[in-house]
Structure 1
Amino acid sequence: MCAVTIQVGDLYAQPRGSNLTADAPAGQATWIWYPGDYAVWLANKMQNRRTERGAFLPVFWKMDSHYVLVEFHKDINLSHPDTIQIAVEGRYNVKIDGKAITGNLKTIQLPKGQHRLSLKVYNQAAVPAIYVKGNQVISDGSWQVTFEDKEWIDASGKASDKSGTTYEHAGYWNFNTAANKPSAFQLQTVPASPVKRTVLPSGSVLLDFGKETFGFIRLKEVSGKGVVNIYYGESKAEALSRDSCETLDRIEFTTPVNNFDTTTASTKAFRYVQIDAPKAVKIGQVDMLYEYAPVTSRGAFSCSDSLINKIWQVAAYTLHLNTREFFIDGIKRDRWIWSGDANQSFLMNYYLYFDQPTVKRTLYALRGKDPVTSHINTIMDYSFYWFMAVKDYYEYSGDAELVKTIYPKMQTLMRYCLSRTDKDGFMEGLSGDWVFIDWADHLTKKGALSFEQLLFCQSLETMAICANVCGDKAGAKKYQNLASQLKAKLFSVFWDSERHAFIHRIFKGKKDEAVFRYTNMFALLLGYLSPVQRKEVITHVLLNNQVQAIHTPYMRFYELAALCVADSQKVVTREIKSYWGGMLQKGATSFWEEYDPAAKGDAQYAMYGRPFGKSLCHAWGASPIYLLGKYYLGVQPTSPGYKTYEVKPALGGLKWIKGSVPFAKGDIQIYCDQKQIKVKTTGQTEKGTLIFHSRTQPRTNLGTIKQTSEQAYTLELHTGQQYVVNYEAI
């Protein structure tokens, strides 16, 4: 692994290293396993690290396990004999053409001709995995795997050739040498030192690392005997509060040590650390090992406003901290994989990293195994976000293979959802269901909520899209019919023409005519509204201060996206500067789980009935990455995998913007001011479309500008060309 240097004084420097989040290169041998199993196993390890003040705190939902016995095989046609090397995680056997071989199983001789090479692997502790490397034969995603091969042998000794076994393509990541075992995976670390050290009146030491960070604390040159207590804080007040800080460590030296170095057993999130040691224990220096996933930042954004630039940088750092083995919610408290949080991280990722493997691992980990016994994370809306995340991943990446692999699990989860609908086809929170939506006052959640039906409808439409990808025409028709029926009921029951908006819910047959932002802004985002309804929702809900405001970055993500869809980027610019800029004024070095501008002093850190319960580094706080990439630079795919795409830049009141948006096989670079637009695409794509408005007749150095309506124009874009359009912004 590459060495990485972090300048702690550079508040938002992101480390650069080998990109462990990339998939294995084509044609290279790599460790393989049953698809999704490594994600399930790794998620179990990660999510069970959570502690609260030293007490183990496991997740609230069912945890699954990997399949412990897996059969791998590959049909090959060798032009000449091949010697292959085999490495395996677990006990295993090897068969060539159905016949088990004995002796040395690490080096196998394969004769010329057609053969089936098979390995069956058992591993209870870690994921059964294999690595095969020869001149002609390598382990990769083309291998077939199953967790039950249903093999049988008749009385003559002949093995079955038609067992009805379901095979899948092998899963893999980028463990590309025999020595690089999947079970040994760890995130990278690099030393970092505090920027300030203060001796407190009590004699303990307060360390300030200058910013929100994550990792292990190292005590160096320790001498003596006794107990060292370590109190962590995302804020100074938290680190100083020995009785209320969310996380702590206790290191006990039961026998005297001399010049001894030690590292805490687990990672923590902090900016401040209080070290309390008895007089009998002397500590030389204290620093940390910063732990990180070495993702590569491919996206970029800058503009004429220095505050917006800083907000983008802090948002990128926030997402970086919460990008670990998976996309997690926050680094201090939960450190779990929540579907609603992850869905937003996926979208931000498409504009910063375009890291596909972490998305896939997170999708697999969230879904787990059959049978389905509850909603994902036990939350109804989080099941729906998971469906929607699969659709988004396919649209951004074009990865049909993932859709085909995960589609059966989509079917069983949707079957569970459909089994819990009421007589009208609506979904309500039943026993064991958590209906979340958002942290908000006065938001009643009993009955059939319009918001949940809207997400349910979008999930059914996702099922229809994925069914078509998988060639399931009957399934596509069924799911689309269900979606159409539900959509019609949604409008007939919940749309209120007098209020010009969707009402909140029906409970015990009666309508709750309260209007909240949630359903209305999602209907706008998803394109469910007619032109007239669209104007009504913008005027009577989104721009109406009488409708209850949203206070969490979680739902501000969608609210501001909806305003951008409504071409209200100037409003969004003001909101970003006020809301995220407000956190910076409060001293934030990463963005928070929730922000109330009215909260003063230490009260701003309270949540869940605890004085420091709020996460000050929460993934959903990083939404400016997505907003500025998709709705200011204006880039999004219009067919799966950016085969076609659009660029629709919007200044939003800024004098100029520039940046880069990544996709799987390239990137799109944009510059826009009030007089000129520049676009250049690199990599593999079919074509793009620049969409813009101009007061005057625009001119271009390449291609032909087409006028689509009054003051509206388009220009076809092709890869490798630098397009320069002179125009006059409206």
Structure 2
Amino acid sequence: MCSGLAEAQQLPPIFDKNTQAQKDSRVRQYLTPKRIVWTSDKSGKSIVNAQSLLLPGSGQADLVHKNFCTMISKDGNTPGILLDFGVEIQGGIQLVTDQPANQKPIRIRIRFGESVSEAMSDIDTIQGATNDHAMRDFTTEVPWLGTMQVGNSGFRFARVDLVDTDRELQLKEVRAIFEYRDIPYLGSFKSNDERLNKIWNTGAYTVHLNMQEFLWDGIKRDRLVWVGDMHPEVMTINSVFGKNEVVAKSLDQARDITPLPGWMNGISAYSMWWILIHRDLYKNQGNLEYLRKQQKYLVGLLDFLMQKTKDNKENLDGTRFLDWPSSENPKGIHAGLHALMVMTLEAGAELCTILDEPAQAAKCKATATQLKLYVPDANGSKQAAALLALSGLVPAEKANAEVISQGECERFSTFYGYYMLQAKARAKDYDGALNCIRNYWGAMLDMGATTFWEDFDLAWTKNAAPIDELVPEGKDDIHGDFGAYCYKNLRHSLCHGWASGPTAWLTEHVLGVSVMEPGCKTIQVKPNLADLKWVEGTYPTPMGIVKIRHEKQADGSIKSTIDAPKGIKVLR
């Protein structure tokens, strides 16, 4: 019988006990293209039988010499073809070749794109297309009568071009390699509004794609653990997938590479979000053993934070940041950081009480109380106003009426939009929140999105072509013509986990699920249907799945049916 690492990793017995191996937690599937968006040849002379690439394949080369696309380069003409796989994925591409007369390897250029325009672009300083974080534009070789698998990026579209002249490429298959965690969608949301249903599902899928070996921010660009950005992602994971190893793995990585005194990702707010994530994760999962592993770092971080106050105000150093759209409003940033400090110290007090650290809990409470004596001005920042409302520094009704609701969804952001929605819920403005979800996140769907974006402005859509089309003359390129800061033009990520807020929000406030006791031992189910007629869904807990359905009656009352696993107390 095998023993040691070989047994633990299920390696073949040929490996010795000193072999180091790490098992990948992901699976892969192969996707056939849905359509051909573009070819360089309309005559049928340099690209022959392109439609064969839309046939299901096996990934295996053969000697039958049938059903393949031929790409022929001659007279200086190097043909190309653009394929659409129908939905954004994380992974690469598989090419299966046939047997032309020349048996030498053939050079091809591959370009991945989250949009048609990105897949059709060159890496330059004009439109911002890059190979940052992941190679999405590169040249490689494919074999004669064989299979090549290459690529590791986020994309929906792939363009393949011949590089050299006087060559013939016989392509039997071009399939996308979809790498993902094979995990069930335990949570669900469905209502009489299909637009909201699609938004919920799109947010869930956006986060799912970013649940790779670590919890990333984006699958094309920002394939990194950005701790603050994780908070909306973790709230979505709690609502859709329940407990998943990627959360703890990413939180622990951020802790381990950021010794104190130091800010996670160099950003003071992100260390505060680390504490808030742990509070919300413990609330949902009730895993005291895991929380205790954070105790030493948590207590030290709270001490460090409390040193960063002066005259009852936050006095944080490091990069002072909420999100990019608010980054040119220093007064708004100060207000947001002050509110976030209050929220963090109150969460820290909760966690320290649980961890039998009464002295530290008392210090956190006292400091938070002192900070509440000062109420900064949001300075028109919807981000800051949301945090001021959620911290209790400003009445939510006031923050919503005077700042957040002004211009409806104008000046929303995909990251802090979640907290704007949370503030609206606290102000009981459920109609306004649902309208912003439909109009703001829904507009990305109207532009062809299958995942939610790093940033978005409704003004971009006025004269824009959707991302799944070649941009006609006279139209704006919604991917290539917009963006700002670190995400200008085609560098802009169109799959960013921080944009998934509506998924968690709809589950919490429309389906109505709030966790009242750690580990979901007690939950409250209090729906807010606003203009909806009915809603149903599920919520994952450590003890099983809660099933819920709400129906609005003729008199406006709500009839609710709730089926909870044994051990869960349900408050209404």
TM-score of the superposed pair, with normalisation by structure 2: 0.80
Once the two structures are TM-superposed, the CA of residue 525 in structure 1 deviates from its matched residue by: 2.6
SS state of the match for residue 439, structure 2? helix
Q: Which amino acid aligns with 2:406?
A: N
Q: Which of 507, 519, 535 is the equivalent residue of 2:384?
A: 519
Which structure's residues are more often helix, by fraction?
2
Counterpart of 2:509 in structure 1 is 631
Q: Does 1:259 align with 2:150?
A: no
Check 1:268–1:281 CA distance in 2 against 1; reply closer, same or farther (3 A cut). Answer: farther
Gap runs ≥5 in structure 1: 1-83, 90-105, 107-128, 132-177, 495-502, 505-513, 691-730
Indicate conservation of the 8 Å contact 1:219/1:287, yes or no.
yes
Counterpart of 2:65 in structure 1 is none
Q: Which of 376, 399, 402 is the equivalent residue of 1:537?
A: 399
Q: Which amino acid aligns with 2:533?
A: K
Equivalent residues in 2 for 1:285-684 (5 A)? Answer: 285-369=173-257, 371-419=259-307, 421=308, 423-424=310-311, 426-430=313-317, 433-440=318-325, 443-445=328-330, 449-488=334-373, 490-491=374-375, 494=376, 503-504=377-378, 514-529=379-394, 533-545=395-407, 549-599=410-460, 600=464, 601-605=476-480, 606-607=482-483, 608=486, 610-675=488-553, 676-684=558-566
Cα distance in 2 for residues equivalent to 1:130 and 1:321: 25
Check 1:446–1:180 CA distance in 2 against 1; reply closer, same or farther (3 A cut). Answer: farther
Indicate conservation of the 8 Å contact 1:563/1:572, yes or no.
yes
SS state of the match for residue 629, structure 1? helix
Check 1:257–1:314 CA distance in 2 against 1; reply closer, same or farther (3 A cut). Answer: closer
Q: Which 4+ residue blocks in structure 1 deviate beyond 6 angstroms?
A: 178-182
Q: Does 1:194 align with 2:33?
A: yes
Once the two structures are TM-superposed, the CA of residue 352 in structure 1 deviates from its matched residue by: 0.7
Q: Which has the higher contact order (CA 8 A, sep 6+)?
A: 2
Indicate conservation of the 8 Å contact 1:668/1:679, yes or no.
no
Cα distance in 2 for residues equivalent to 1:276 and 1:88: 44
Cα distance in 2 for residues equivalent to 1:597 and 1:482: 40
SS state of the match for residue 123, structure 2? coil
Summarize deviations over 1:461-485 as a string: whole Å, max 9, x none. Answer: 2222222222122222222222222
Counterpart of 1:149 in structure 2 is none
Once the two structures are TM-superposed, the CA of residue 551 in structure 1 deviates from its matched residue by: 3.1
Check 1:191–1:300 CA distance in 2 against 1; reply closer, same or farther (3 A cut). Answer: same
Q: Which amino acid aligns with 1:316?
A: A
Cα distance in 1 for residues equivalent to 2:279 and 2:488: 37
Once the two structures are TM-superposed, the CA of residue 444 in structure 1 deviates from its matched residue by: 2.5
Once the two structures are TM-superposed, the CA of residue 234 in structure 1 deviates from its matched residue by: 0.7
Counterpart of 1:719 in structure 2 is none
Cα distance in 2 for residues equivalent to 1:518 and 1:681: 37
SS state of the match for residue 454, structure 2? coil
Cα distance in 2 for residues equivalent to 1:583 and 1:598: 12
Indicate conservation of the 8 Å contact 1:330/1:618, yes or no.
yes
Q: Does 1:230 align with 2:138?
A: no
Check 1:228–1:297 CA distance in 2 against 1; reply closer, same or farther (3 A cut). Answer: same
Gap runs ≥5 in structure 2: 11-16, 42-77, 465-475
Indicate conservation of the 8 Å contact 1:227/1:251, yes or no.
yes
Check 1:520–1:598 CA distance in 2 against 1; reply closer, same or farther (3 A cut). Answer: closer
Summarize deviations over 1:329-374 as a string: whole Å, max 9, x none. Answer: 1111111111121111010111111124222112112222563253
Which structure's residues are more often strand, by fraction?
1
Indicate conservation of the 8 Å contact 1:403/1:469, yes or no.
no
Counterpart of 1:203 in structure 2 is 79
Once the two structures are TM-superposed, the CA of residue 644 in structure 1 deviates from its matched residue by: 1.4
Cα distance in 1 for residues equivalent to 2:441 and 2:534: 20
Indicate conservation of the 8 Å contact 2:336/2:384, yes or no.
yes
State the identity as a percent: 26
Once the two structures are TM-superposed, the CA of residue 407 in structure 1 deviates from its matched residue by: 1.2
Q: Which amino acid aligns with 1:329?
A: D
Counterpart of 1:13 in structure 2 is none
Counterpart of 2:467 in structure 1 is none
Check 1:686–1:208 CA distance in 2 against 1; reply closer, same or farther (3 A cut). Answer: closer
Indicate conservation of the 8 Å contact 2:332/2:384, yes or no.
no
Once the two structures are TM-superposed, the CA of residue 672 in structure 1 deviates from its matched residue by: 1.4
Check 1:385–1:560 CA distance in 2 against 1; reply closer, same or farther (3 A cut). Answer: same
Summarize deviations over 1:169-206 as a string: whole Å, max 9, x none. Answer: xxxxxxxxx99986232521111111123421451111
Once the two structures are TM-superposed, the CA of residue 300 in structure 1 deviates from its matched residue by: 0.8
Q: Which amino acid aligns with 2:23?
A: A
Check 1:577–1:422 CA distance in 2 against 1; reply closer, same or farther (3 A cut). Answer: closer
Residue-pair matches, total: 493
Cα distance in 2 for residues equivalent to 1:411 and 1:687: 32
Once the two structures are TM-superposed, the CA of residue 447 in structure 1 deviates from its matched residue by: 10
Cα distance in 2 for residues equivalent to 1:422 and 1:662: 39
Moved more, 215-224 or 178-187: 178-187
* Larger Rg computed on CA atoms: 1
Once the two structures are TM-superposed, the CA of residue 665 in structure 1 deviates from its matched residue by: 0.9
Once the two structures are TM-superposed, the CA of residue 528 in structure 1 deviates from its matched residue by: 4.7
Cα distance in 2 for residues equivalent to 1:353 and 1:179: 36
Cα distance in 1 for residues equivalent to 2:402 and 2:212: 41
Check 1:257–1:183 CA distance in 2 against 1; reply closer, same or farther (3 A cut). Answer: closer
Moved more, 603-612 or 214-223: 603-612
- What is the Cα-based RMSD across aligned positions, in Å? 2.8
Counterpart of 2:92 in structure 1 is 216
Summarize deviations over 1:469-524 as a string: whole Å, max 9, x none. Answer: 22122222222222222222x33xx2xxxxxxxx04xxxxxxxxx23223332232
Check 1:475–1:422 CA distance in 2 against 1; reply closer, same or farther (3 A cut). Answer: closer
Check 1:229–1:370 CA distance in 2 against 1; reply closer, same or farther (3 A cut). Answer: closer
SS state of the match for residue 554, structure 1? coil
Once the two structures are TM-superposed, the CA of residue 130 in structure 1 deviates from its matched residue by: 10
Cα distance in 1 for residues equivalent to 2:427 and 2:153: 41
Check 1:414–1:369 CA distance in 2 against 1; reply closer, same or farther (3 A cut). Answer: farther
SS state of the match for residue 258, structure 1? coil
Summarize deviations over 1:600-653 as a string: whole Å, max 9, x none. Answer: 321444433743011111112222211110000110111111121111011121
Indicate conservation of the 8 Å contact 1:327/1:337, yes or no.
yes
Q: Which of 246, 262, 274 is the equivalent residue of 2:130?
A: 246
Counterpart of 2:74 in structure 1 is none
Check 1:455–1:242 CA distance in 2 against 1; reply closer, same or farther (3 A cut). Answer: same
Q: Which amino acid aligns with 1:394?
A: Y
TM-score of the superposed pair, with normalisation by structure 1: 0.63
Indicate conservation of the 8 Å contact 2:192/2:532, yes or no.
yes
